[in-house]
Structure 1
């Protein structure tokens, strides 16, 4: 496969003018009430259709042709808002529209678009699937923009490290910037030392592809400054504290923070929000060679704080620390960082519920509200001050790997907080960026997490 560009895939959506067949999306209660097409109701009754969640029944016409489809939503009070994603895989090829549904047409269309995603870069593409007409009362631009961003994040995470190393990540970064006429700057290799990014250099210097810091600027000068920082560890062996083979299988996804940040940046730029946007991605591979950084080393960060390396597998917080220090120098109104940072976050909350950390109570409230509003799950975790003692090191200012094994996601967030200036509003997301099981709106594989809720917050704060 050539280095990843933007995968151009057929749109899952049909033009509004398209001749399309109806989908009657109904709950069990709707079936009992019978308040939809009488012919379809009679067919459902005779076929024993019970509207179980995700069930599909194709309905014929009197002439033996396809007349529409009944789609089950299950219990009315427990309906999965994104169950409509199953339609993208269950319906026959052709154009369809939602005729009736207790779930809004916009949500059904968004779920359909996300559910249509397939990663087929290394296999023969499947035949064309169904298309859905976006309802006239839905915001088609928002839906298509969101589907494109989710697909971008998934594509980047799904691409294996031999085709998505720091070189390829830079190529995607520059292509996205070019698409939206953003300015870019890249600091690579030993130039990181002269530019004072010593920890980014230390983590990535052992790899064949040089470490680098990717920087993008877009928007209006004088607008509120928003900075997005994404962990771009394109593969993580664990370094000299090497991971076991089983733990290395998914390490292509260790740049999931960068993938999600790029997807969020694309949404912001595509919507033309009124921000002065800056995107920072430290792109490295944590590899092993004679020049690898070692357990016991002490690194001096961009901020001047010294860090004792107690485990080379806790490298993500090191590259983020230099990037966050750099982000604060611009005095932004808000910094958002996203990283596949700790296994502890998965132990605490599982793969589907990313924790976030912030001391900004207003921001925390807005994120929680948007999370519920757009069904993009997340959970606030505490920056618990007594645990700051665990981040202290014996011979340096900080340790990158506190001993004891407790509260690993919290202590990682507290480590990052030491590189944030007190006057800057900051939120840290410890994401998984991967779905270990198929869901209605997405297959197993790379996943976008928290970006829909983040976009909702940013668009409310800084509308176009």
Structure 2
């Protein structure tokens, strides 16, 4: 549900006045004596980040004063209000540009997200009347795509295994009349996705490669690849139990790819979109792939298995190779790939790798505007030797624990040579702390920034 009402709905709403902290005293002097007394009785000092409801004659909320410390507006500027105001319907009594109005409405809506699939009692939030100059379509698509990604990550693996992830992709494909092919089980060997098969063959649910295509075949080719490891035990290099607790989120890259794909298709961007998701569980069984095995990838390159818990780069390698066979104009991959990236940039920034300077300049610019943070790490060629193998073309595990996010990205780079431009996002896909608009749980990383870039680049 999108928690705003139309600009044109005939319904009474409560005004919210936005006052800068340094202008609060002057604003207060212009209020009625009753409101001044109410402000004093509540010891409201007009500090930035606070708000106060002012009562009407009947005791209901007549208006709200909201104090801020700056007059710039971004997606999170008012994201604290939906949970902190009574669950009435409000409108903003402030002049905003079209972009500001759209951003504020997106942030307000995202702040009302609750993952309640397994809960009986829904939480109630304040509702916003959409500002007159906000782009309702952009608000709706951004909120839907973000909450789609959040939901997919939050659903436990028992209900979001490879089959369910395939079904989620199929629902999106059907909505936009995209073509989808699913290569499942031993067919992965027939259609040359051997490393996807090797990683996923030990699980009860068969591994699969989800392949969705949409748009004019003659349009610029944009391809999204998302890591879809629906649960990661670590394989025979078994994780400790504490490290498995959040492994339902190891398909977060697939969730990002589907969220961004939804935005692209909903906006009708003039591109030929392809989405590739290797969907597997990395489980333990008698037919698990083993440390020391050598796998032959779709590209023909051989990979020695140094660690079965470095499975994400294996399934991505086959998908990236398939993507490159069409020589896309832009290849984007999302993956919850390494703990090393979290050590490098923390849990709330998307570690970003690309050799395309112009591309990253555009990503950084849009990430700042969208408040969708990224930070670039180097594809440092001197570390390439750390994934050498004495018996194969590559090893899937670096020879040193240092620089793990970089060596993982260098591994992926080996399978992207045919793409005209490539960017890799190593993401957390999860909020471990609550912030306004961003509750604890699954989270979308980098998709708002990338959609803004694509919309700018392709002219709609």
Q: TM-score, normalised by structure 2?
A: 0.95
Is 1:44 aligned to 2:35, yes or no? no
Instruction: State the Cα deviation string for residues 54-101 of structure 1 (Å, max 9, x = none).
Output: 43311112343320222233x328988514112121121221111137
User: For the aligned residues, what is the CA RMSD?
Assistant: 1.9
For 1:76, what is the secondary structure of its paired residue?
Answer: coil
The residue that corresponds to 2:57 in the other structure is 62
Instruction: State the Cα deviation string for residues 124-169 of structure 1 (Å, max 9, x = none).
Output: 1325432101111111111111011110000000000000000100
Give the Cα separation in 2 of the matches to 1:333 and 1:41.
60
Give the Cα separation in 2 of the matches to 1:53 and 1:168.
45
Instruction: State the Cα deviation string for residues 248-281 of structure 1 (Å, max 9, x = none).
Output: 0000000000001100000000000000000000
Gaps of 5+ in 2: none
Shift of the 68–182 alpha-carbon distance from structure 1 to 2, 3 Å rule, reads same
Question: How many residues are paired up?
Answer: 454
Instruction: State the Cα deviation string for residues 270-316 of structure 1 (Å, max 9, x = none).
Output: 00000000000000000000010000101000001110101000000
The residue that corresponds to 1:4 in the other structure is none
2:235–2:288: 8 Å Cα contact kept in structure 1?
yes
The residue that corresponds to 2:81 in the other structure is 87
Offset, 1:435: 0.3
For 2:78, what is the secondary structure of its paired residue?
Answer: helix
Shift of the 90–320 alpha-carbon distance from structure 1 to 2, 3 Å rule, reads same
Instruction: State the Cα deviation string for residues 205-236 of structure 1 (Å, max 9, x = none).
Output: 00000000001011112110000000000000
**What are the equivalent positions in structure 2 for 1:360-371 lying under 5 Å apart?**
360-371=356-367
Gaps of 5+ in 1: 1-9
The residue that corresponds to 1:357 in the other structure is 353
Give the Cα separation in 2 of the matches to 1:401 and 1:133.
52
2:331–2:419: 8 Å Cα contact kept in structure 1?
no
Give the Cα separation in 2 of the matches to 1:356 and 1:184.
28
Give the Cα separation in 1 of the matches to 2:428 and 2:103.
24
Give the Cα separation in 2 of the matches to 1:70 and 1:122.
36
For 1:295, what is the secondary structure of its paired residue?
Answer: coil
The counterpart of 1:417, out of the listed 403, 413, 419, is: 413
The counterpart of 2:114, out of the listed 90, 111, 118, is: 118
Q: TM-score, normalised by structure 1?
A: 0.94
**What are the equivalent positions in structure 2 for 1:422-437 lying under 5 Å apart?**
424-437=420-433
The residue that corresponds to 1:13 in the other structure is 4
The counterpart of 2:19, out of the listed 26, 34, 37, is: 26
For 2:198, what is the secondary structure of its paired residue?
Answer: helix
1:31–1:41: 8 Å Cα contact kept in structure 2?
no
The residue that corresponds to 1:280 in the other structure is 276
The counterpart of 2:441, out of the listed 437, 442, 445, is: 445
Offset, 1:23: 1.3
The residue that corresponds to 2:289 in the other structure is 293
1:110–1:147: 8 Å Cα contact kept in structure 2?
yes
The residue that corresponds to 1:262 in the other structure is 258
Is 1:406 aligned to 2:399, yes or no? no
For 2:79, what is the secondary structure of its paired residue?
Answer: helix
